[in-house]
A = this chain, B = another copy of it.
Amino acid sequence: MIVELTSDPIDVPRLIEHVNQPSNGGICTFLGVVRDNAEGRPVVKLGYEAYESMAVAQMRTIVEEAMQRWDLDAVALSHRTGELQIGEASVAIAVGAPHRAEAFEACRYIIDTLKTRVPIWKKEFFQDGAVWVEPVSSQPSTQ
Partner-B contacts on A (CB < 8 A): 12-13, 16, 20, 22-37, 86-87, 96, 98, 100, 103-104, 107-108, 111
Contact = CB atoms under 8 A, between A and B. Distances in A.
12 contacts: A12-B16, A20-B31, A22-B86, A23-B35, A23-B36, A25-B32, A25-B34, A27-B31, A28-B107, A30-B104, A100-B111, A104-B108
A13 B12 CA distance: 8
Contact of A30 (B27, B31, B33): B27
Contact of A36 (B22, B87, B107): B22
A35 B30 contact: no
A96 B27 CA distance: 17
The 4 closest A-B pairs by CB, nearest first: A22-B36, A25-B35, A27-B31, A29-B29
Contact of A20 (B22, B24, B33, B98): B33
Nearest to A34: B25
- How many copies of the polypeptide does the oligomer hold? 2
A32 B25 CA distance: 6
Contacts of A22: 35-36, 86-87
A20 B30 CA distance: 12
A81 B26 CA distance: 17
